[in-house]
Every structure is written in C-alpha cells, then in structure tokens.
Amino acid sequence: MQTSAPGGPEDRLNQGLGDGGRPPWPHGQPGPFGHWAGPGHWRTRRHRGPQWARGPRIEGPLRRASDDRFAGGVAAGLAGRMGLDPTMVRLGLMIAILFTAGYAAVAYVVAWLLVPMTGTDTAIAAKAKADRRGLAVAAALGSLLVLILIAVTALHVPFVGSLASPLFLCIAGLVLVWRNASAAERATLRDLAEPLESLTGRRGWTAIMVRAVTAVVLAAGGVTVFVSTHRSILLLRQLAGVALVLAAIVVLFGPWWIRVARDLVTERQARIRAEERAEMASRVHDSVLQTLAMIQRRADQPQQVVQLARAQERELRAWLFDGQAPGSLDGQDMTISGGVRQIQQEVEATHGVTVEAVTVGDCEVNDDLGALLAAAREATVNAAKWSGADVISLFAEVEPGEVSLYVRDRGRGFDPAVVPGDRKGLAESIRGRMARRGGSATVRSAPGEGTEVSLTMPRAGERQPSRG
C-alpha cells in the first residue's frame, strides 16, 4: 500500500521541476522522500495496486478535482488520473508527509499552485506571478525562515531546522494560493484554517496572558536545558552572539515585516468591504434596479407602477429586516404559501404581469414539494414570457394526500400537438422535474384559449398536514 499510494504529488513535482527527475540530494542517499530509485520509481508500480485501491480513471491532462476535495483536490485529481481510490492516495500522502518530514506537504502545496482545477486551464501560479504583494509576503516568510535557520544552526537543534523549512515553504505557498485562488477555493482554505484561527483569534486578555506566560515558561525552560546540558559559560556567550545577530536582523527586517503585515490587514479589510459591496450591488441590481427599470417603462400605467413598487417594497423590507435574501426559493422553513408568494413577487417584479396567487391550506416544503414549486415557477415565468396575458392565475391547494398547483393564463395559447421546439423543451423540463419526484404535470392549451399547467405532487411520508 505504501508503495502504490505515495505516487502522490511529489511524483509529478519531480517531473515538473524539470531537473530530469533527479532528486536534490546525492544519488543513492536516503533523501527526505526515502530511497530514490530513479525516475519512474513509483510510476512503474502505479497500476499494480490491489483491486480495492482502484477507482474510476479519468483521461486527459492532470487536473485538480473540483468536487471531491479535502484541501486542494490534488489527491483526488491524481487518483482519478491513475485510476486509484482517492482515499488511498490521501492516506498515502499522509504517510509520505510523515516519512519525508513534511516535504511531501510542500510538494502538495506546489502542486496546488501549478495544477489547474478541473474545467480550467490556468493554474493559480499564473495569477500568483503577478501578485506582487503575495510574493512580498512569501519573500518575507523566506527571510524569517533564514533567520530561524541561523538561530537553530547556531543552537544545534537540527530537528527544528528540518521541520521549519517545509513548514515555511508550505505557508508561503498557501499564502500565494489564498491570495490568488477563486472564492470557492478560498472558502475551502478558510474551513481548513478554522481550528487554527480559533487558536490564535482574539479571545480576550486572559488568553493572551496565558499564552505569554506559557511562552516565557517554555523559553526559560529551553534556556535552562541548554545551559544544563552544555554546562559551559561558552554557550552563553554563543547565545549572546546569536541573540545579537538575531536582533540585528530584526532591526534590519522588522519594519518591513510589520509593513507587509499591516498591508495585508488593510488589504484584507478592503477586500471584505469590496465583497460586501459587490454582494449588495448584485442584490440591489436583481431587485431594486430591475423594478425601477420596469417602472420607467410602465410610467403610463399607474396601477402597475404601484404594484411593482409595492412588491419591491415588500421584498426590500423582507431583506433588510428579516434577512430574507431576494430571489431565494429554497430557503429554510419554506412553506407552500410562502413559496407561491415568492413566485408571485418574483414574476411580477421581473415580468411586469399580475400574478393572481391563491393558496388553500399550507405545509412545509420538502425536496419533492421544492421541485413542485420550482416547476410552478418555471410554468409561471413561461406564461409571463410567452402568453402575452396581463394576468396569470396561480392556485395552490394543499390536501392531506397531495399538493396541487395550477398555473393558468388567458394568453395566446398554443396547440400542444404542434409546439415550437423551445416551448416543448420547457414543457418537458417541467414534466421531467415532476416525474422524477413521482409527481405529474399536464399542459392544456389551445390557440387563443390560453394555457393551463396542472402540477400534482403526492405527499408521501408527510407529517401531520397543517391546515390554515
């Protein structure tokens, strides 16, 4: 298992680094990846994994998986490429990280940077190249690493030195990923970093004091250990020397680090503000601006203007005071009457027709009834777009055994036997949506006589129906 699984990102990395697959340490020596048997060391074995470790194979260039991902989707992407089970690859990666003292993790982060995600052709690295501030942070981290390496070499603690390098490389890489990845990837990173954040997040003075005291005790303990093992006044002198060098570097680089850190904070705040503004803008665009445009176009029909204004006011109030995002049909605690109302408001606002909505009885919406509402919305939007009618009737009735929804217009109608292709497709999508959930949909129409779409969904496994 160990032999097949570590065909992780480091394999690709070593090919990708362009040094002919030659490891960066003398040939024959056990490097941080274990014994290196030359290029193809793992590649030759990759298809000999046992049956249970295999997974579906995906052809084409290596891509990071976008759906099945734990962090960057590198492992799943590799697994798909090699026909292995993603979990096996992940386990192998974990083991590789342990055995390579962390360098496999570096390889993972580099792969994250270099390998594009499924469905895209540009890697994060391409964007990161232009990210000057991100590169500055990475460089600052590099200088910090040098500093620590100097300190640990002077203090003869090689263990820390070997861990510090991969750690800092990983962090530098992740900083670049974080700054240049798409919003979705950033969300994944944020989820991963959550435990870390709670550890370092602001939690009052007590936490800071506890941390400071712990640090002082640890440092004091460390110094005591050094002094007691070496029992030499020489070491103290050496320590003093190291301290001086460190102080010099801090004095030299300190302001730069602080500036980089401060820039990062301001930039982060600016980005949060920009995101909020973008969100606000899109909401306002979807609702208020649309409505204002409709009102301008219908200035000669005061009744419709009033109606548009009223619908918009309702929606805006719901958003501002009840936190109900405009246009979200699948919100929690949705009921049939609420869903029908929402369809009514949406279609009235966007298409400027009157939707006469009537609901009898009510119940909570489950997945099946969500599909029913979605189909009803599609039918209503259809009627608003195609029928030419000013009024669309939407009637929902909740009965103990089933929920029925009728969408009726008095528009131009059509002959169901000779429907134009696009309309037929829409009807099919309504029918298909209902059929998949065990419901039914019928469309009744004739030229000049309007259209009625009847939707029925059984309420299988429903709780007590709540009427009224």
Partner 1 sequence: MTMADAARPRVVIVDDHGLFRSGVRSELGSDVDVIGEADDVQPAVRLIGECLPDVVLLDVHLPGGGGQLVAAAVRAEHPEVRFLALSASDAPEDVIAVIRAGARGYVTKTISADDLVDAVRRVAAGDAVFSPRLAGFVLDAFASLPAPDEHRPSFDAELDQLTTREREVLRLIARGYTYKEVGRELYISAKTVETHVSSVLRKLQLSTRHQLTRWAAERRLT
Binding site for partner 1 (CB under 8 A): 302-303, 307, 354, 356, 358-361, 390-393, 395, 397, 406, 408-410, 452, 467-468
The smaller minimum CB distance to partner 1, of residues 108 and 395, is found at 395
Identity of residue 114? L
Kindly state the smallest distance separating residue 289's Cβ from partner 1, in Å: 24
Kindly state the smallest distance separating residue 447's Cβ from partner 1, in Å: 16
As given in the structure block, the two tokens for residue 293 are 């445009």
The smaller minimum CB distance to partner 1, of residues 116 and 361, is found at 361
Kindly state the smallest distance separating residue 357's Cβ from partner 1, in Å: 8
CB 457 within 8 A of CB 422: no
The smaller minimum CB distance to partner 1, of residues 161 and 465, is found at 465
Kindly state the smallest distance separating residue 324's Cβ from partner 1, in Å: 17
Cα four-point dihedral sign 69, 74, 75, 77: positive
CA distance 358 to 4: 63
Identity of residue 251? V
CA distance 369 to 460: 10
Kindly state the smallest distance separating residue 341's Cβ from partner 1, in Å: 9
Kindly state the smallest distance separating residue 71's Cβ from partner 1, in Å: 47
Kindly state the smallest distance separating residue 383's Cβ from partner 1, in Å: 11
CA distance 340 to 323: 19
Number of other residues whose CB lies within 10 A of the CB of residue 175: 22
As given in the structure block, the two tokens for residue 367 are 């997945």
**How buried is 391 (Cβ within 10 angstroms: 0-12 exposed, 13-18 middle, 19+ buried)?**
middle
As given in the structure block, the two tokens for residue 217 are 């005790």
DSSP 402-451: EEEEEEEE-S----GGG--HHHHHHHHHHHHHHHHTT-EEEEEE-TTS-E
The smaller minimum CB distance to partner 1, of residues 85 and 390, is found at 390
